[in-house]
C-alpha cells in the first residue's frame, strides 16, 4: 500500500488485480458467464442489422420463465397490484373479492398498512404462518412459522445458512461443503467467495443422475485432510440434471449426514416441477420426520423460491428457508444474523404468500387460477418429454430423462479433433461446442463445465422453457448444427 504521489498522469488505484479479494478473483458463475455476454453482443448486432444465419437469439441459458413467454398467473398479479396501490384499486370492480381479501391480510400485517415499510427481518409473520400451513399440508407434519426465514430469492437464504457454518479459519481448518457435481453454480461460487472448501460428489449419470452413498463416502474421505466437513447440499429436483430423488435415496442421504454429523441443505426450489411417470417429490423434512428418532431431530434447511414452479416470478426475488432442529442458542445467533439484513422485499413476500395460499375451490378466482397453473405445468411436462426424446434421437448425444426441474443436461460425445480444436482456442470442449452453437444458430446454452462434470465427459445445460413451437424449432436447428459440427471435426 503506502502513499501515492499525486501527479496528473498517475491514476491512483486503491484496488488492483494484485490486491483484489482473491476469492472474488477465483469465483466463477457460468450461468451468466462469457457465453451470455457473447449472446448479448450478438443480439445487439442483430438489432443493428448485421446478417446472421438466424434472426434471433434464444436465451436457453437461464431458468427465466417470463422472459421466454410464460404469462404471469393472473391472481398473483392482482393481489400484487392491490397491495401496491390499495387506495384506489381496493374499490375497483376489476379485482375479485378473494384477491382483495388476500391483499388486505398482507396489508394488515404491514406496519402503516404499506408494503413500503420494512417487515420483520425474517418476513411478515402472517406470511410465515401461511408458509407453515403450506409446508404442513405438503408434508403432513407440523411446521413452525418461527422456523421460517424469508429471503431475497432462495440464493440469499442459502448464503445465510452457509455463513453460519463457516469456521472463520483458513487452510485445512476451513469449512467443507459437500456439493453435487453437476450443480447449480451458486454453491461453488458461494463456497469460493466465503473461502470455504468445496467437496464435490459426482451424481451417477449412468443411473439417471442418482446420488450414491459410496460416492458420498469417497468424496468425504478424500476431503477430510483438507477441511472440516460441515454440510451437504442436495438439489432435488436436480439442477442442472433434472432427476427426482426417490424416497429411499433421500433416506440414505439422511443416514449418511447423521453418520458424519453434517448439516443438510436441501435445495427444493423445483418442488412443483415433477413430470416423469413414477416420479414424486418428497421433501427432506417429510422423510426425516417419518424416519423417526434420531433422524427427526437432525438439523435441516430446506429452500423454496417464487422463481420456479408454475409461477416463475423470478424478478420479485422471493424465497424462504425452513430451518429446523437448530440448537436454541444457535437459533438466536441465526436470527441475529438475519436481523442485520433488515428484510427481504415485501412485494416478493406478497408473491410468496399467494403461492402458498392460492385460491381454493369455491372462491371466485379458483377456476382461472387452476387452469393457468395446470396449463403451465402441462406445457413444461410436454417440453420435458420433447427435449429428452429429441436429444436421444441425435447421434452422439445422450440425455437422461428430464424427470423434473426446468433443464436438460445432455451429454455430448465429442471426437478428439474437437478436444484439440477447443484446446487451441483456449476453451473447454463443451464451451467450444456451445459457442459454435450460439454463433451458428443463436441458441444460448451453458457449457457443462460451468456446473462441473466428470473429467472426460462433456455436456451442456438447456432450459426447457421456450414455448412449445419455438422449442421445436430450436431443437430442429440444434440437430442440424450438431450433425454439421460432428462432420466438420470427424
The b/e string for 276-302 (b: 16+ C-beta within 10 A; e otherwise) is: beebebbbbbbbbbebeeebbebbbbb
The count of residues interacting with its own copies (CB under 8 A) is 119
Asked whether position 81 contacts its own copies by CB under 8 A, the answer is yes
Asked whether position 396 contacts its own copies by CB under 8 A, the answer is no
Convert residues 283-302 into a mask of x (bound to its own copies by CB under 8 A) and - (unbound).
Answer: ----------xxx-xxx---
Binding residue for its own copies, selected from 50, 51, 55, 112, defined by CB under 8 A: 112
Asked whether position 339 contacts its own copies by CB under 8 A, the answer is yes
> At closest approach, how far in Å is the CB of 419 from its own copies?
27
Asked whether position 27 contacts its own copies by CB under 8 A, the answer is yes
Q: Mark the segment that binds its own copies (CB under 8 A) among 166-174, 362-370, 393-401, 406-414.
A: 166-174
Q: CA 182 to CA 457: how far, in whole Å?
A: 11
Identify each DSSP E strand in 347-458 by its residue range: 397-398, 407-408, 411-412, 443-444, 446-447
Binding residue for its own copies, selected from 104, 133, 315, 439, defined by CB under 8 A: 315
**Three cell numbers, residue 433:** 461446442
Q: Mark the segment that binds its own copies (CB under 8 A) among 50-58, 135-143, 189-197, 386-394.
A: 189-197
> At closest approach, how far in Å is the CB of 152 from its own copies?
5
Which residue, 306 or 414, has its beta carbon nearer to its own copies? 306
Query: Do residues 31 and 450 lie in contact, with contact meaning Cβ atoms separated by under 8 Å?
Result: yes
Asked whether position 348 contacts its own copies by CB under 8 A, the answer is yes
Which residues within the stretch 247-276 sit at the binding site for its own copies (CB under 8 A)? 257-263
> At closest approach, how far in Å is the CB of 36 from its own copies?
8
Which residues within the stretch 402-461 sit at the binding site for its own copies (CB under 8 A)? none
Give the burial class of 88: count Cβ atoms within 10 A of its Cβ; 0-12 exposed, 13-18 middle, 19 or more buried. exposed
> At closest approach, how far in Å is the CB of 24 from its own copies?
5
Binding residue for its own copies, selected from 52, 163, 440, 457, defined by CB under 8 A: 163
Q: CA 247 to CA 244: how far, in whole Å?
A: 9
For 415, the enclosing helix (H) or strand (E) is: none
Asked whether position 6 contacts its own copies by CB under 8 A, the answer is yes
Q: Residue 240: is the preceding peptide bond cis (ω within 30°)?
A: yes
Asked whether position 80 contacts its own copies by CB under 8 A, the answer is yes
**Three cell numbers, residue 23:** 476469492
Q: CA distances (Å), 453 to each of 111, 327, 423, 460, in order?
A: 48, 36, 17, 10
Binding residue for its own copies, selected from 57, 103, 109, 110, defined by CB under 8 A: 110
∠ CA 204-205-211 to the nearest 5 degrees? 30
Q: Mark the segment that binds its own copies (CB under 8 A) among 148-156, 201-209, 363-371, 452-460.
A: 148-156
Asked whether position 214 contacts its own copies by CB under 8 A, the answer is no
Asked whether position 169 contacts its own copies by CB under 8 A, the answer is yes
Binding residue for its own copies, selected from 42, 57, 60, 119, defined by CB under 8 A: 119
Asked whether position 183 contacts its own copies by CB under 8 A, the answer is no
Q: Name residue, grid cell 425474517.
A: 122
Identify each DSSP E strand in 76-153 by its residue range: 148-152
Asked whether position 48 contacts its own copies by CB under 8 A, the answer is no
Name all contacts of 215-219 with Cβ < 8 Å and 24+ positions apart: 216/178, 216/253, 216/256, 217/256, 219/178
Asked whether position 182 contacts its own copies by CB under 8 A, the answer is no
End-to-end CA distance of the chain: 54
Asked whether position 280 contacts its own copies by CB under 8 A, the answer is no
Asked whether position 56 contacts its own copies by CB under 8 A, the answer is no
Which residues does residue 175 pair with via DSSP β-bridges, in sequence order?
228
Amino acid at each position: 500500500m503506502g502513499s501515492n504521489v499525486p501527479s496528473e498522469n498517475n491514476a491512483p488505484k486503491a484496488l488492483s488485480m494484485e490486491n483484489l479479494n482473491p476469492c472474488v478473483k477465483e469465483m466463477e458463475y457460468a450461468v451468466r458467464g462469457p457465453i451470455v455476454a457473447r449472446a448479448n453482443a450478438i443480439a445487439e448486432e442483430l438489432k443493428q442489422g448485421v446478417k446472421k444465419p438466424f434472426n434471433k437469439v434464444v436465451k436457453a441459458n437461464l431458468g427465466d420463465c417470463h422472459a421466454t413467454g410464460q404469462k404471469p398467473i393472473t391472481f398473483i398479479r392482482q393481489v400484487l397490484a392491490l397491495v401496491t396501490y390499495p387506495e384506489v384499486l381496493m374499490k375497483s370492480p376489476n379485482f375479485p373479492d378473494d384477491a382483495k381479501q388476500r391483499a388486505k391480510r398482507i396489508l394488515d400485517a404491514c406496519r402503516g398498512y404499506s408494503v413500503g415499510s420494512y417487515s420483520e427481518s425474517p418476513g411478515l409473520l402472517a406470511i410465515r404462518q401461511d408458509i407453515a400451513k403450506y409446508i404442513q399440508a405438503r408434508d403432513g407434519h407440523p411446521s413452525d412459522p418461527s422456523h421460517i426465514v424469508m429471503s431475497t430469492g432462495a440464493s440469499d437464504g442459502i448464503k445465510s445458512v452457509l455463513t453460519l457454518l463457516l469456521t472463520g479459519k483458513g487452510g485445512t481448518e476451513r469449512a467443507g461443503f459437500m456439493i453435487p457435481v453437476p450443480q447449480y453454480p451458486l454453491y461453488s461460487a458461494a463456497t469460493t467467495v466465503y473461502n470455504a472448501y468445496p467437496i464435490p460428489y459426482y451424481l451417477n449419470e449412468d443411473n439417471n443422475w442418482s446420488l450414491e452413498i459410496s460416492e458420498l463416502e469417497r468424496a468425504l474421505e478424500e476431503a477430510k485432510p483438507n477441511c472440516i466437513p460441515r454440510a451437504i447440499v442436495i438439489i432435488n429436483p436436480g439442477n442442472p440434471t433434472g432427476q427426482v430423488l426417490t424416497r429411499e435415496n433421500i433416506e440414505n442421504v439422511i443416514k449418511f449426514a447423521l453418520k458424519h454429523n453434517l448439516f443438510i441443505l436441501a435445495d427444493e426450489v423445483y418442488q412443483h416441477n415433477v413430470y416423469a411417470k413414477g416420479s414424486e417429490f418428497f421433501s427432506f423434512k417429510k422423510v426425516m420426520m417419518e424416519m423417526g428418532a434420531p433422524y427427526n431431530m437432525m438439523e435441516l434447511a430446506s429452500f423454496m423460491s417464487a422463481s420456479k414452479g408454475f409461477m416463475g416470478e423470478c424478478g420479485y426475488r422471493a424465497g424462504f428457508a425452513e430451518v429446523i432442529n437448530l440448537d436454541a442458542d444457535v437459533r438466536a445467533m441465526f436470527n441475529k444474523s438475519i436481523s442485520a439484513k433488515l428484510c427481504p422485499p415485501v412485494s416478493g413476500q406478497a408473491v410468496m404468500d399467494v403461492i402458498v395460499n392460492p385460491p381454493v375451490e369455491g372462491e371466485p378466482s379458483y377456476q382461472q387460477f387452476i387452469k393457468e397453473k395446470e396449463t403451465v405445468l402441462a406445457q413444461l411436462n410436454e417440453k420435458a418429454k420433447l427435449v429428452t426424446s429429441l436429444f436421444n434421437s441425435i447421434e452422439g448425444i445422450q440425455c437422461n430423462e428430464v424427470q423434473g426441474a426446468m433443464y436438460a443436461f445432455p451429454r455430448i460425445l465429442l471426437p478428439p479433433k474437437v478436444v484439440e480444436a477447443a484446446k487451441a482456442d483456449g476453451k473447454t470442449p463443451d464451451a467450444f461446442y456451445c459457442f459454435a452453437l450460439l454463433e451458428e444458430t443463436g441458441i444460448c446454452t451453458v457449457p457443462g463445465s460451468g456446473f462441473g462434470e466428470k473429467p472426460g465427459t462433456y455436456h451442456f445445460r438447456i432450459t426447457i422453457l421456450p414455448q412449445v413451437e419455438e422449442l421445436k424449432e430450436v431443437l430442429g436447428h440444434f440437430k442440424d448444427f450438431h450433425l454439421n459440427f460432428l462432420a466438420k471435426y470427424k
